[in-house]
Amino acid sequence: MSDPYLPGSLINSQLIASLAARTALETPGVLRLEPTLEGFLARLGPAALRSLRHPGSQDGSYRHDGVTATINDGTARVDLDIATDIAYTALTVAEAVQQRIHENISHTGLTPGRIHIHILSIEPRPE
């Protein structure tokens, strides 16, 4: 007897957000993600209710601690708020993060869309 088919997808906006966050934090020059009040308030809005109603849906948005991931028609878009190390050139760090996220999204079978990296702070690495 075979297992019943379960509709849904393993690749959703929450997974893409997690992938983007992990990728950013593994990139040299990134100190941390920068959660914003705007992101927190947006997480409490209608998108949160939609994700509760359709947890297996591939289309939709997910926001958490400085990362917003949106999947629409097989295309994943990411907005990421980060703090960078002053010892690195901010533009170089942002480009590296953007490229690495693009590559990782392409491995999921989704088409990478726009990937916006917002540098909210540049500071020395804590001792």
- Specify whether domain 13-123 bears CATH 3.40.50.300: no
* Complete DSSP assignment for 53-98: H-TT-SSEEEEETTEEEEEETTEEEEEEEEEEETTS-HHHHHHHHH
Question: Residue 24 pLDDT more than 80?
Answer: yes
Work out the average pLDDT over 23-42. Answer: 83
What are 126's two structure tokens?
Answer: 């804590």
Task: Give the amino acid at 88.
Answer: Y
Question: Residue 41 pLDDT more than 60?
Answer: no
Question: Residue 2 pLDDT more than 60?
Answer: no
Helix and strand totals (H; E) in the chain: 4, 5
pLDDT (0 to 100) of residue 37: 63
**Contact in structure between 112 and 69 (CB atoms under 8 Å):** no
- For the chain, give the mean pLDDT: 84
Work out the average pLDDT over 49-68. Answer: 67
Question: Residue 8 pLDDT more than 70?
Answer: no
* Interval 64-104: pLDDT, tens: 889 999 999 999 999 999 999 999 999 999 999 999 999 99
Domain boundaries, the chain: 13-123
